[in-house]
Amino acid sequence: MRIEPFTDTPLSILAYDGTPKENPDSLGLGKDDYLHMYRWLVFVRGVDDRGYILVRQGRAGFYAQIAGQEAAQVGSALPLLKDDWMYPDHRSQGSMLVKGLSAAEWFGHVLGRTLDPTQGRLMPHGPGRRDLHIVPPASTVGNKITEAVGTAMAQRIKKRKEITICYMGDGATSEGDFHVGMNFAAVYQAPALMFVQNNQYAISMRTDQQTRTKTIAEKARAYGMPGYFVDGNDVLAVYAVTKHCADRARSGNGPSLIEAYTYRYGPHSSADDDTRYRPKGELEMWRTQRDPVTRMRRFLELRGWWSEEQEQRLQAEIKAQLAAAMEEAEKSPPPAPLTVFDHVYETLTPHLAWERAELAAELGV
């Protein structure tokens, strides 16, 4: 696959049925790597399925599923190194898990327990972890883009060989912050990857209602930055493009925009009713003909590296792993009431100390 910006059709390696259009081994990957990738796809789908159940059980207030977008997330997170920084958005838990967040932490987050590295502070669409360089996303669409670029500028100022990846949706590209962030990234040649998961919807708004361009990738032209249009359901293609851009950024050649063209299976969130706006048959088509997990599995099968038996073993193994993770999360207590005052500032202000005392009196603690 020649990795070129501004193509009309998405860059891809695997056809929809998993047949390689060209030999992916040129990526420098071997059997173990492919199996590793596949495992991640299955794992993050498993985590997400389990997480979503918690809402349906009434044990969480909100959930935004990644189902359908696993390849975009796994493929873009795998090329990152330990010291690289990640700014996830509200639908990037797959990437966070690859970067090192544990399933138990994710469940703890969804349940709002202390196992959550962010201590139940946020609606469950993403914790962060300082040691992993994962910045906790806020709900607000788009406003992490300029920050991610600031981090990348800092990496450059400090002459580190690190990069920063920033996740966003197709909808986010309409916000002013997208423009401002893209422009700063280009002007300062910051080592940033602007990674757009174009799942074709921003809640109910189709991409063609969001913008008049055919692709998101071509928006990079407004910044003198390359923009890559890649099949987001092809984990190998996503990996290849992201790796390419990461290497470029790491060696001081500046930022890139990557558009991973994909599709979400679930409603926008647990609060959404997607039947109101999805055309009939569309979801089924994507699910049955373009599924990113199945596609990779077919590739492995074609190579003779994967059997039904191996699949079942993997599924069982992950199931057990996730059951244990869930148990760990459930055992974790919710945050204690008085912690509500912690971390507004590094130290409690007199006013907050007074409020804390009021609450302590109220609770008799």
Partner 1 sequence: MATVQTPPQTQLTMVQAIRSALLEEMERDQDVVILGEDIGVRGGVFLITEGLIDKFGPERVIDTPLAEAGIIGAAVGMALYGLRPIAEIQFIDFIFPGFDLLVTEAAKIRYRSAGQFGVPMVIRSPYGGGVRGGAYHSQSPEAYFVATPGLKVVVPSNPYDAKGLLIASIRDPDPVVFMEPKKIYRAVKSEVPAGPYEVPLGKAALVREGKHVSIITFGAMVQVALEAAGLLAADGVEAEILDLRTLQPYDTQAILTTVAKTGHVVLLQEAPRIGGYCAEIAAYIAEHAVEHLEGPIVRVAGWDTAFPYALEKVYMPNAQRVVRAVKKTLNF
Give the binding-site size for partner 1 (rule: CB under 8 A): 81
Question: Is 253 near ligand TPP (CB under 6 A)?
Answer: no
Question: Is 100 near partner 1 (CB under 8 A)?
Answer: no
Residue 264 among the catalytic residues: yes
Residue number, 35 or 205, with CB nearest to partner 1: 205
Which residue of this chain has its Cβ atom nearest to ligand TPP in the complex? 169
Q: Catalytic residue among 45, 90, 156, 264, which?
A: 264
Residue where the block lists tokens 């990079």: 220
Q: Classify residue 31 as exposed, middle or buried by CB count within 10 Å of its CB (0-12, 13-18, 19+).
A: exposed
Which among 31-39, 220-228, 265-273, 319-327 is the span making contact with its own copies, rule CB under 8 A?
A: 220-228
Binder of partner 1 out of 30, 313, 349, 360 (CB under 8 A): 349
Angstrom distance (rounded) from CA 7 to CA 163: 25
Closest contact distance (angstroms) between CB of 182 and ligand TPP is 15
Residue number, 272 or 301, with CB nearest to partner 1: 272
Evaluate whether 220 touches 179 at the Cβ level (below 8 Å). Answer: no
Residue number, 152 or 322, with CB nearest to partner 1: 152
As a residue count, the chain comes to: 365
Residue 179 among the catalytic residues: no
Closest contact distance (angstroms) between CB of 140 and Mg ion is 15
Angstrom distance (rounded) from CA 132 to CA 117: 11
Question: Is 173 near Mg ion (CB under 5 A)?
Answer: no
Binding string, 262-301, against ligand TPP, x = CB under 6 A? ------x---------------------------------
Closest contact distance (angstroms) between CB of 180 and ligand TPP is 12
Question: Is 202 near ligand TPP (CB under 6 A)?
Answer: yes
Q: Which of residues 266-305 bind partner 1 (CB under 8 A)?
A: 271-272, 276-277
Radius of gyration of the chain, Cα coordinates, nearest whole angstrom: 21
Residue where the block lists tokens 């962060």: 128
Q: Catalytic residue among 250, 277, 287, 356, which?
A: 277
From residue 341, alpha-carbon distances to 220, 251, 258, 349, 360 in Å are 43, 43, 40, 10, 11
Q: Which of residues 1-60 bind partner 1 (CB under 8 A)?
A: none
Angstrom distance (rounded) from CA 306 to CA 299: 9
Residue where the block lists tokens 């760990």: 328
Binder of its own copies out of 219, 248, 268, 290 (CB under 8 A): 219
Question: Is 311 near partner 1 (CB under 8 A)?
Answer: no
Q: What are phi and psi of 44, to 5 degrees?
A: -70, -30
Question: Is 67 near ligand TPP (CB under 6 A)?
Answer: no
Residue 228 among the catalytic residues: no
Choose the one of ligand TPP, partner 1, Mg ion, none that binds residue 149, judging by a C-beta under 5 to 8 angstroms depending on kind: partner 1
Which among 30-38, 134-142, 273-281, 287-295 is the span making contact with ligand TPP, rule CB under 6 A?
A: 134-142
The one-letter amino acid code at 303 reads R
Binding string, 174-203, against its own copies, x = CB under 8 A? xxxxxxx--x--xx----------------
CA dihedral 231, 234, 238, 241 (to 10 degrees): -70
Question: Is 117 near partner 1 (CB under 8 A)?
Answer: yes
Residue where the block lists tokens 């469940």: 107
3-class secondary-structure state, position 165:
strand
Q: What are phi and psi of 168, to 5 degrees?
A: -155, 165
Evaluate whether 255 touches 183 at the Cβ level (below 8 Å). Answer: no
The one-letter amino acid code at 261 reads Y
Enumerate residues 6+ apart whose C-beta is below 8 A from 363. 337, 338
CA proximity to 77, closest of 94, 102, 101: 94
Give the residue numbers annotated as catalytic, written as ranges: 264, 268, 277
Interacting residues with ligand TPP (CB under 6 A): 90-91, 139-141, 169-172, 197, 199, 201-203, 268
Interacting residues with its own copies (CB under 8 A): 174-180, 183, 186-187, 209-214, 218-225
